[in-house]
Amino acid sequence: MCSGRVDLEFILRAFMNGQDGVFIGGCKLDECNYITQGNYDALSTVYIARKIMEHLGLNPKRLRVEFISSSDGNLLAELTDDFCNQIKEIGPLGKAEGFDAQALQLKLEAVNKLVPYIKLVERERLRQPVKSKAAYDAFFTSSELDELFNELIADKMSLSQIMLLLKESPLTTAEISKMLGLSPSDVAKHMGNSSRQGLVSYDESNNSYALV
């Protein structure tokens, strides 16, 4: 299978199923057997997934992509062994980062619900016109990418987590802030926008928000 077929949802699903790390192997960049150069799509997906993991508080080194020739069997073995050793050093997913299982699942499920939206954003706002590793590395490590990520994805991720929490029970701003590590002002902003859209309602008697 072309590495370009590795969807962001596949990566998230692996982590949601308890895998401590994900290794993606693809053919060498600029040596794709197809005109689509799908391995650059894989590189883009990995960069975005790592950014998401970093924002969630997960170690982005749990995800690795390597581009090698099909004749480099020994190199593949070395790379996978090195990755396995690295994951052992990092430790179990979530636990090593200080999350309990429930909190980790909430974060991953919240992002997973946004996959169609994130893929649309990647195609329309984050897709690079020049397919070269230098161009991809430069863009995906730039301050421009940080700004776009915060503007287009980060807030959506926070709101998705809030909605999952409110699905269980009504919560106050302070409770949401404590559970997700968000500032009260950020929670209030999200709830204000959601209230205007008719997604949540505010119960003045309990000072809490609930899904409509």
CATH assignment at residue 179: 1.10.10.10
pLDDT digits (tens, 9 = 90+) for 165-202: 999 999 999 999 999 999 999 999 999 999 999 999 99
What is the tally of structural domains in the chain?
2
pTM above 0.85, yes or no: yes
Burial letters 76-86, b for 16+ CB under 10 A, else e? beebeeebeee
Question: For the chain, what is the mean pLDDT?
Answer: 95
CA dihedral of 6, 9, 10, 15, whole degrees rounded to 10: 140
Q: Domain range spanning residue 190? A: 169-212
Amino acid at 16: M
- Same domain as 175, residue 153: no
- Same domain as 88, residue 40: yes
pLDDT at 4 over 90: no
Amino acid at 59: N
